[in-house]
A and B are shown apart, each in its own frame.
Chain A
Amino acid sequence: MAKLVVKDAEKWFRRENGEPLKVIDRLSFEAREGAVTVLIGPSGCGKSTLLNSVVGLEKLDRGDLLFLDDGKNRERPLIGYVFQSPRLLPWKTVAENIGLALQGAGIPRSERAARVERYLKLVNLEEYTHQFPLYLSGGQRQRVGLARALAVESDIVLMDEPFASVDELTARRLRQTTRRLCEQLRRTVLFVTHNLAEAAYMSDFVVTLTGRPARLDTYVVNPLSSPRQWGADVYNFAAELETKVSLKEDEAL
């Protein structure tokens, strides 16, 4: 089991007029083993940039990203990623999309089919194995994306506002499925959102960030027990989170 440690991370972008713009400022926190750490902060505060740096799509200007496995750091480990849009290859069937991720992860061909089947069952999509993604609904596609991220069986899984583009009722069902799988599979999950109720429901720990540049604001331990239901407890904790986030709102604007 591995944990992700972000240490003194700094990231700059260059504006169109050439001036530097700091998006992440000396940010340090960790995503603990086997738990869901939710990162919340205002839109555009650099949350996605941080996730992109974790998977190597971008590079931090300063600081370290450590993937600690029994205290030892691993270089560019495989990381499951659920994107904001499903990012499935439309010319490949559901099974082939997951199969390709497994091939990339170095899973032998003989094991792939069984694993694809197992994870599609976990997200209740086993009937759609040989369907092309464009014939599925938005929520179903997102579940395929979730199955793909979990099927590679990496220690660390990132989720970047995965339910932001589906309607609220679908999102609620997807959250329940995802939370159930997180509890069952015990992966280290870093989950980004700007939806406070979602943060309250999904998290074991919550890291709140300030507006641009993103700095660590508060670190909160979720008091809700697991397994949990979507209900008043969730909204109460969301309201508590709101008081912590909104205090810094001016800075974001």
Chain B
Amino acid sequence: MGVVQGDQMVLNIGPQHPSTHGVLRLQVRTDGEIVSEIKPYIGYLHRCFEKHSENVTYEQVIPFTDRCDYVASMNNNFGYVVTMEELMEIKVPDRVEYIRVIMAELNRIASHLLALGTYGLDVGAFTPFLYMFRDRERILDIFELTCGARLLYNYMWVGGVSHDLPKDFERICIGFLDYFEPKIKEYNDLLTHNKIFLERTADVGVLPPDVAINFGVSGPNLRGSGVNWDVRKDEPYSIYDRFEFEIPLGEGEFGTVGDSFDRYWVRVCEMKESIKIIRQAIKDLPDGDVFQTIPKKIRPPKGSIYRRTESPRGDLGYYIISDGSPIPYRVKMRSPAFTALSSLGEIAQGWMLSDVIAILGSLDIVLGEIDR
């Protein structure tokens, strides 16, 4: 494909390729190993989320949000229901809020584990991937216990959640956290502080803060560039203002601020912060009825709303327009991985082919969310 000019070669990475994290095609112009131009082609996983949403009722949109970012479904549910509740001015009971935060943070850990594990794979380390999947499995077990599903939960509903917490949940969850916390050190020993891993990631694919903001990059990728921006802290939704947690920022420990290592490292630190939040939430978990405020009929008033929440990948925005009927007039999802991928062409230029894979992995994209 494409025209070959002089000594350059056009190479298609994907759509079927081991490390495109889904179905993505990168058209790469290379001069030997050096990559001079990258054009991402997306849309291979386009499932018409927005068009579907205009044909189903508000509650039926929730399973579709699951399927957008299938690695962090809870967070996608969360964003949608928070936006809907703000539009409908529903105040949910405290217990629901706490349950949602616990689930969202657990899912954040699970999502980061997948991101870090596959990142290890991208740079050639196979074993950390399996370690991380082993622990991710435990989180999925907790989800299964709670709502019966392991990947696509449809757990959070407008005004409540689909199931109350199972008996003994606190003990199981704390048990997991106690088990998981020391494991982070294990990952660091195995992968993070490995000399080869540092060589491969430090100083590679630097994303300066101003470029990151200009490209709309968000979440751990933005914080990796040293920008202190976390929706949970800066525009608190749900009950995030009740918890104490830090926002880890990239410091350029082994290279430049905003390199692949910083993005990786921010995710490792965020897992620790999520553990903190979950511990606080479980400690304060109040009693109550979780189905109390679920509306019989979802018929939001006429109007529009844009709200963003912090998904593991960054600012997840929902733009919902209601015309007063039970069917949404328009649902737009602003997906964080979409903007992150759009910056790839800029930051991966001039690096080697192997680095392009490493940089792509460090952006932690989920194609389901990009293509929707």
Tell me, yes or no, whether A binds B: no
